[in-house]
């Protein structure tokens, strides 16, 4: 029997009267899949229940943070204990140093760290620091990489290898955007050309070292290494935005997998375990200029909030257990291989990839290495697949340009069920 989403529709209609578009973050509105969002009532482990009591196997995982599964009992316990001790003090706690140490143990490029409340804040702040440190204004970012919604980062590339920044949203002053240079992902030649054009002007190059915000896109061989040497040559700081990939593709992030040492790193999502917590950090000489040890101002009423920090600490402890990542990789790999096999069997154009507990797929018969290629994927096919999966109880990101996430709570049976459903949905040909 077809699922009904009547209650969600009612709640959405109500929310639309109160909140722009009915949601507090645009992707939640399901616009990319021509539908209305489901409203969530509760979640446990790998499962979600919506307002109509439909159950789903969840591969969104709150867009990444839910790596140990929803409402993990150990996490819920520390959150309750922390809350009982006071929800927020606006004063330092030893928990913050504990979390700093836990992060640095796994990400050695981070010698000092500052906790903030969102990935947007982390990326915005790290660029202020980079500009102050280098005394330069321009930044390089990549087309299709998302670093939060601060003015200077809300810039897309025009067509061609590189353009001057054009604001992606009304309200972003063109002056702010004009210092943001955009280049196609995986195009080292275009980056080199940009450096040649502005040899002494680029403060920082910021990148999702594995992209999750154009779908899942991996760096081609030599790309990250090439960026590292160009940045060193031109005195530009290399910033890895690992808000999504940090503690998600593996404990040390992409930088560990590819053995590249960025100057600065942004983290978020998993380090807060689902609470509003993010961070930026890196070389001690750079971080030392952040206030109050240095002149670069950055602050936050709720930064290092004890409930959020406790949640992050417990999450990192759970994922540091010896079998956690091998098990996560095994499950994600089974999922991705199974999807590929079904697509092949049913003759669908399909490419898929994963790292750790993060995966993505495109209805595209060629490998996707940048945003332009990602946009050439078959969107109608994605929509059909998405709704077929929803009807059968599998919740995927409602956009072809987002990654998916597997958690420690996903059992082998969840993966098998998902693959059987995917095979049935693909069998119809998705036309
Ligand atoms: C790579 C990356 N950077 C930054 C952000 C912004 O983080 P937040 O949504 O916490 O502001 C995101 C959010 O998805 C992200 O994926």
Residues 119-147 pLDDT 10s: 999 999 999 999 999 999 999 999 999 99
At residue 165, the pLDDT reads 58
| Residue owning the nearest CA to atom 4 of ligand 1 | 147
Contact 358, 249 (CB under 8 A): yes
Contact 116, 280 (CB under 8 A): yes
Burial class (CB in 10 A: 0-12, 13-18, 19+), 320: middle
At residue 163, the pLDDT reads 44
Band (154; pLDDT cuts 50, 70, 90): confident
Tens digit of each residue's pLDDT (9 = 90 or more) over 391-417: 999 999 999 999 999 999 999 999 999
How far apart are the C-alpha atoms of 270 and 278, rounded to whole Å?
9
Contact 381, 363 (CB under 8 A): yes
Contact 184, 370 (CB under 8 A): yes
Is 123 near ligand 1, meaning CB less than 6 Å away?
A: yes
Q: Which residues are catalytic?
A: 146, 241, 269
Is 244 near ligand 1, meaning CB less than 6 Å away?
A: yes
Tens digit of each residue's pLDDT (9 = 90 or more) over 19-70: 999 999 999 999 999 999 999 999 999 999 999 999 999 999 999 999 999 9
Is 342 near ligand 1, meaning CB less than 6 Å away?
A: no
At residue 166, the pLDDT reads 63
Among 64-78, 146-160, 205-219, 255-269, name the one with the lowest average pLDDT. Answer: 146-160
pLDDT of 159 higher than 50:
no
Tens digit of each residue's pLDDT (9 = 90 or more) over 162-212: 345 567 788 888 888 889 999 999 999 999 999 999 999 999 999 999 999
Is 338 near ligand 1, meaning CB less than 6 Å away?
A: no
Between these two residues, 68 and 154, which has the higher pLDDT value? 68
Angle at 206 between CA 163 and CA 145, to 5 degrees: 70
| Residue owning the nearest CA to atom 16 of ligand 1 | 244
pLDDT of 370 higher than 80:
yes
Is 208 near ligand 1, meaning CB less than 6 Å away?
A: yes
How far apart are the C-alpha atoms of 329 and 215, rounded to whole Å?
19
Among 5-9, 152-156, 222-226, 419-423, name the one with the lowest average pLDDT. Answer: 152-156
Please name the fold of domain 6-71+322-427: 3.90.1150
Burial class (CB in 10 A: 0-12, 13-18, 19+), 23: middle
Tell which atom from ligand 1 comes closest to the C-alpha of 213: 16
From the list 249, 250, 246, 285, the residue with the least C-alpha distance to 265 is 246
Tell which atom from ligand 1 comes closest to the C-alpha of 268: 10
Q: Domain 73-319 - what CATH class?
A: alpha beta
What residue segments make up the domains of the chain, in order of their start?
6-71+322-427, 73-319
CA atoms within 13 A on the CB side of 114: 27
How far apart are the C-alpha atoms of 14 and 21, rounded to whole Å?
11
Q: Considering the chain, what is the average pLDDT of its residues?
A: 95
Residue 230 structure tokens: 């160009």
3-state SS, the chain, equals CCCCCHHHHHHHHHHHHHCHHHCCCHHHHCHHHCCCCCCEEEEEECEEEECCCCEEEECCHHHCCCCCCECCHHHHHHHHHHHHCCCCCCCCCHHHHHHHHHHHHHCCCCCEEEEECCHHHHHHHHHHHHHHHHCCCEEEEECCCCCCCCHHHCEECCCCCEECCEECCCCCCHHHHCCEEEECCCCHHHHHHHHHHCCCCEEEEEECCCECECECECCCCCHHHHHHHHHHHHCCEEEEECCCCCCCCCCCHHHHHCCCCCCEEEECHHHHECECCEEEEECHHHHCCECCCCCECCCCCCCCCHHHHHHHHHHHHHHCCCCHHHHHHHHHHHHHHHHHHHHHHCCCCCEEEEECCEEEEECCCCCCCCHHHHHCCCHHHHHHHHHHHHHCCEECCCCCCCCEECCCCCCHHHHHHHHHHHHHHHHCCCC
At residue 250, the pLDDT reads 98
Band (429; pLDDT cuts 50, 70, 90): confident
Residue 374 structure tokens: 């990602």
Tell which atom from ligand 1 comes closest to the C-alpha of 120: 11
Is 248 near ligand 1, meaning CB less than 6 Å away?
A: no
Percentage of residues in the chain having pLDDT higher than 90: 91
How far away, in angstroms, is 345 Cα from ligand 1 center? 36
At residue 70, the pLDDT reads 98
How far away, in angstroms, is 332 Cα from ligand 1 center? 22
The count of other CB atoms within 10 Å of the CB of residue 31 is 15
Is 245 near ligand 1, meaning CB less than 6 Å away?
A: no
pLDDT of 222 higher than 90:
yes
Is 141 near ligand 1, meaning CB less than 6 Å away?
A: no
Is 402 near ligand 1, meaning CB less than 6 Å away?
A: no
* Mean pLDDT of the 288-304 span: 98
How far away, in angstroms, is 351 Cα from ligand 1 center? 24
How far away, in angstroms, is 123 Cα from ligand 1 center? 8
Q: Quote the pTM value.
A: 0.97
Tell which atom from ligand 1 comes closest to the C-alpha of 266: 3
At residue 164, the pLDDT reads 52
How far apart are the C-alpha atoms of 380 and 293, rounded to whole Å?
53
At residue 156, the pLDDT reads 65
* Mean pLDDT of the 227-244 span: 98
Contact 152, 182 (CB under 8 A): no
How far apart are the C-alpha atoms of 304 and 82, rounded to whole Å?
13
At residue 171, the pLDDT reads 86
How far away, in angstroms, is 167 Cα from ligand 1 center? 18
CA distances from residue 203 to 70, 134, 163, 418 in whole angstroms, order as listed? 39, 6, 17, 45
How far away, in angstroms, is 6 Cα from ligand 1 center? 31
* Mean pLDDT of the 367-394 span: 96
CA atoms within 13 A on the CB side of 150: 16
Query: To the nearest 10°, the Cα dihedral for 172, 174, 179, 182?
Result: 80
From the list 283, 257, 279, the residue with the least C-alpha distance to 270 is 279
Band (240; pLDDT cuts 50, 70, 90): very high
Residue 219 structure tokens: 């760096």
How far apart are the C-alpha atoms of 52 and 47, rounded to whole Å?
14
How far apart are the C-alpha atoms of 56 and 50, rounded to whole Å?
8
How far apart are the C-alpha atoms of 194 and 189, rounded to whole Å?
9
């Amino acid at each position: 029997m077809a699922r009904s989403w009547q209650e969600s529709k009612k709640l959405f209609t109500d929310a639309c009267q109160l909140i722009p578009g009915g949601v507090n973050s645009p992707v939640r509105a399901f616009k990319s899949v021509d539908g209305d969002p489901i409203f969530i009532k509760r979640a446990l482990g790998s499962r979600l229940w919506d307002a109509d009591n439909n159950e789903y196997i969840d591969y969104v995982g709150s867009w990444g943070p839910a790596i140990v599964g929803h409402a993990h009992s150990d996490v819920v316990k520390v959150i309750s204990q922390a809350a009982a001790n006071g929800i927020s003090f606006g004063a330092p706690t030893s928990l913050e140093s504990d979390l700093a140490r836990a992060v640095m143990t796994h990400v050695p490029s981070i010698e000092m760290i500052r906790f903030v409340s969102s990935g947007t804040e982390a990326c915005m702040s790290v660029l202020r620091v980079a500009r102050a440190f280098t005394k330069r204004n321009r930044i390089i970012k990549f087309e299709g990489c998302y670093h939060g919604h601060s003015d200077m980062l809300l810039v897309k590339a025009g067509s061609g290898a590189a353009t001057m920044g054009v604001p992606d949203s009304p309200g972003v002053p063109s002056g702010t955007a004009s210092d943001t240079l955009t280049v196609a992902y995986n195009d080292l030649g275009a980056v080199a050309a940009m450096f040649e054009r502005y040899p002494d002007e680029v403060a920082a190059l910021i990148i999702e070292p594995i992209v999750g915000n154009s779908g899942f896109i991996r760096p081609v061989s030599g790309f990250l290494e090439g960026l590292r040497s160009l940045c060193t040559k031109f005195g530009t700081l290399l910033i890895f935005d690992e808000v999504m990939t940090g503690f998600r593709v593996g404990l040390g992030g992409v930088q560990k997998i590819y053995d590249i040492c960025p100057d600065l790193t942004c983290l978020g999502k998993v380090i807060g375990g689902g609470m509003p917590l993010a961070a930026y950090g890196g070389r001690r000489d750079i971080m030392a200029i952040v206030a109050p040890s240095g002149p670069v101002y950055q602050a936050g009423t709720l930064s290092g909030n004890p409930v959020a920090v406790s949640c992050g600490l417990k999450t990192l402890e759970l994922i540091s257990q010896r079998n956690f990542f091998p098990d996560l990789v095994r499950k994600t790999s089974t999922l991705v291989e199974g999807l590929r096999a079904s697509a092949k069997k049913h003759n669908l154009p399909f490419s898929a990839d994963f790292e750790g507990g993060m995966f993505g797929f495109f209805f595209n018969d060629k490998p996707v290495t940048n945003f332009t290629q990602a946009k050439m994927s078959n969107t109608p096919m994605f929509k059909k697949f998405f709704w077929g999966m929803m009807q059968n109880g599998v919740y995927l990101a409602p956009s072809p340009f987002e990654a998916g996430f597997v958690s420690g709570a996903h059992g082998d049976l969840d993966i098998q069920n998902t693959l059987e459903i995917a095979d049935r949905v693909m069998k119809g040909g998705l036309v």
